[in-house]
Structure 1
Amino acid sequence: MPIFGGSSDSEDERTIHHTPKLFTRQQSIHSLFGGGKFADILLWREPKIASTLVIGVSLLWFLMEVVEYNFITLVCHASMTSMLLFFIWSTASDFLNWERPIIPEVVLDESSFKHLARSFHARFNQILSKLLDIACGRDPPLFFLTTISLYILSIIGTCFNFVNLLFIGFVSLLTLPVMYELYEDDVDTVAGKLMRKMRKLYRKVDSNVLSKIPRGTVKSKKHT
């Protein structure tokens, strides 16, 4: 599935007057992410939850990368500290007439897990089908662009360890969608211009190089 529909010069001229949506989508960014709580968090429509996640993950990254905590050691120390604080609070409340700590009951709804699994399955199949379309050569400019992007990502992966890469990915997930929603028209315009240049470059390569590569004749099978 192409990022922008069409590849001819006439369609390139039309896109100047009418900028198509990125990935030829018809839905809003909020609907694209499911339109529920998850989308509200990604697009910072739940600022308290989103900011808490960013602060919590940033603190976790700081402890693991800067302080160089081992993950298992960090979990054990955090658990011991939490248990100690609750123990002191509960014990002191009996002597000082404090209110005892209220431990909320976490109810894991089965339907929520099923909905999350179905959403992940649908998104995974959607991404996989797009990658297969690109790999089959249905949009050659997008194929080269995807290949170059994956190569750049592989270079970035060699510069960071797995924890740093996860942290960068998480921060990007909570910043890029909301930034795109704020500057959607500008991003679509720049991406449209980039794709038009990629298509023109591919047509030149195809006419000057690819079309001149000799191809063997295909022999038809004789049916007896």
Structure 2
Amino acid sequence: MPIFGGSSDSEEERTMHQQTKLFNRQRSIHSIFGGGKVADILLWREPKIAATLVIGVSLLWFLLEVVEYNFITLVCHASMTFMLLFFIWSTASDFLNWERPIIPEVVLDESSFKELATSFHDRFNQILSKLLDLACGRDPPLFFLTTISLYILSVIGTCINFMNLLFIGFVSMQTLPVMYEMYEDDVDRMASMLMRKMRKLYRKVDSNVLSKIPRGTVKSKKYA
């Protein structure tokens, strides 16, 4: 019962040494993440901004989860602290001839939010489209691998609260893409070997189990 469009072990052996990109992608990692400032941050091409984000999110997670700060209380205390620091700085600058603090008119650029929202929208649509494509049975090994991965993620979600899961997701988002870009060839080679083994396993299951499941014949309707 051919499942993979006529693919065979001999064809697979001939393509054994061919380099296959992860998820059969044709573009670079930078272009997949949008090719803009968001991609630069995720791939640490803007190291100061990326490091600041990691440190800031890690500090926020530490205060909320370890110190067990209430979120509203944390926002209020942080605002009070920054206002007090600016007040002391502004007041002391008149007596000590310091330079007064410069407050920018626009702290966060509007285009950055639009770029982030557009990038998230594109990535979400791509992931959803890929999941629907897998659900149609066009790549059974990857379908089972994705199902197992989602099940493992659901088990992890029952053991870890939402805040910790968000923190782990953020750290993974800031580390895995850049690590993959650094070791792209090795990861692609291992992923290709894994997918070949999954396809072989699926063919064995299909030939030994699925193909032997009896299927009822469709009876033609008789008309008087």
- Normalising by structure 2, we get a TM-score of 0.89
Look up the match of 2:18: 18
Q: Give the superposed CA RMSD.
A: 2.2
Residue deviations 1:48-83 (CA, integer Å, cap 9, x gap): 111111111111111111111111111110001011
Mapped partners of 1:146, 1:45: distance in 2: 30
Look up the match of 2:149: 149
Distance 1:220 1:172, change over 3 A: farther
Look up the match of 2:137: 137
For structure 2, the residue ranges without an aligned partner over 5 or more in a row are none
- Normalising by structure 1, we get a TM-score of 0.89
Secondary structure of the residue that 1:174 maps to in structure 2? helix
Q: Which amino acid aligns with 1:96?
A: L
Look up the match of 1:89: 89
For structure 1, the residue ranges without an aligned partner over 5 or more in a row are none
Distance 1:111 1:11, change over 3 A: farther
Distance 1:173 1:115, change over 3 A: closer
Distance 1:183 1:108, change over 3 A: closer
Q: Alignment length, in residue pairs?
A: 219
Mapped partners of 2:82, 2:201: distance in 1: 60
Q: Which runs of 4+ in 1 moved over 6 A?
A: none
Q: Which amino acid aligns with 1:193?
A: M
Look up the match of 1:186: 186
Distance 1:99 1:6, change over 3 A: farther
Distance 1:125 1:220, change over 3 A: farther
Look up the match of 2:75: 75
Distance 1:102 1:134, change over 3 A: same
Mapped partners of 2:21, 2:52: distance in 1: 32
Look up the match of 2:105: 105
Distance 1:110 1:54, change over 3 A: closer
Look up the match of 1:170: 170
How far off is 1:112 after superposition?
4.8
Task: Say if 1:7 and 1:199, in contact at 8 Å, map to a contact too.
Answer: no
